[in-house]
Amino acid sequence: MKYPIAGIVLLASTPALALDAIPDSFPTPMDNPISNAKVELGKQLFFDPRLSIDGTVSCNSCHNVMASGTDSRPTSVGVNGQRGGRNAPTVWNAAFLSTQFWDGRAATLEEQAKGPPLNPIEMGMPNAQAVVDRLESIPGYKAQFNAIFGAVSYDNMAKAIASYERTLITINSPFDRHMKGDKTAMSDKAIKGMKRFNTIGCSGCHNGVNFAGPALATGTGFFQKFPLFNNPLIAKYNLAKDKGRYEVTQDNADINTWRVPSLRNIATTAPYFHNGAVKTLEEAVHVMATSQLDKKLSDAEISEIVAFLESLTGEFPAQTMPRLPGITGSSLVGSIK
């Protein structure tokens, strides 16, 4: 069944692609069909800092959809000023990823949405029931949950947030327009960069709709070792300290293995890499060529590839701040010990 939201057609599946434009459909799970009411509820929850223990951190704090879907910091700031250990990935186009987080520990957007509220560094709520209790104490939320799902629950909270996140799609990038036949959409330099991106091997990992690997079954994930080749840049940017997926699986084969990140809108999401240590896109290309392909690129070659990567910046649909349901006569913040 097709369901239009903000100009996007939602389908139950989307075809596997190599290097291609964003399609007119994206995958939605059968157990969480989209509706306007669910998306609106999810949007409110995404922007509401009351999902954090002290009322200071919302999903949008780290994944700012008024901009690039990130917070432009090396690592994010959570409750009590705590710093996370990894750079916040953009939430834009996350619907096209087959697994979530840098280490792929969440199979779906729904599962991903359950993580931050209970993370002691991020939003700091003590348990799922505490989140449910807080939502139920806000009449406007309780009414919406009851109308959409029949009840407030932690799973239903995650379903609503994931539904909103699936609408965060950037279309009509110069690359997309080029692939759909507008041969004036990309500059000659960007086209040269796209060819070089392919010929030197970047597209071996960064392919598919999201330039994050091929379309796979949900939860499968497309992973790669990083770094593959040791060099002074690894130590300079401390890129090998975090063991990546190994922290989830405890399997030695997964040491320094990562879910391949999307390259869409990459020009807007600095700083780069899992620890946010690299400040510029040019340097990120230099690091990747050296560390993954064992290639030394000239400044001119790097500039061409950067021009291509800049062509992956799409149109960001306008987002409006939601009106959050209020409470009267009491305060929620600080009510949980």
Order of strands, edge to edge, in the sheet holding 3-5?
Answer: 3-5, 8-11, 25-27
DSSP for residue 151: S
Q: What is the average pLDDT across 304-321?
A: 96
Which of left, alpha, beta for 129 (phi over 0: left; psi -120 to 50: alpha)? alpha
Q: What is d(CA 87, CA 71) in angstroms, rounded to the nearest whole number?
A: 9
Taking alpha carbons only, the member of 199, 264, 263, 278 closest to residue 233 is: 278
* CA–CA distances in Å: residue 48 to residues 54, 105, 136, 323: 12, 24, 14, 10
Domains 3-165 and 174-310 share a fold: yes
Tokens 């990823």: give the residue. 97
Range name among 17-31, 50-64, 134-148, 243-257 with the lowest pLDDT average: 17-31
Q: Where are the domains of the chain?
A: 3-165, 174-310
Q: Is 315 designated active site? A: no
| 3-state SS record for 120-149 | CCCCCCCCHHHHHHHHHCCHHHHHHHHHHC
Question: Tens digit of pLDDT for each residue in 106-116?
Answer: 999 999 999 99
Catalytic residue among 122, 165, 283, 301: 122
Percent of all residues in the chain with a pLDDT value above 90, rounded to a whole number: 86
Question: Tens digit of pLDDT for each residue in 112-161?
Answer: 999 999 999 999 999 999 999 999 999 999 999 999 999 999 999 999 99
CATH class of residue range 3-165: mainly alpha
What is the CATH topology of the domain spanning 174-310? Cytochrome Bc1 Complex; Chain D, domain 2 (1.10.760)
Mean pLDDT value across the chain: 91
Q: How many CB atoms lie within 10 A of CB 114?
A: 19
Structure tokens at 235: 């130590």
Pair 11, 27: CB distance under 8 Å? yes
| Interval 78-87 mean pLDDT | 96
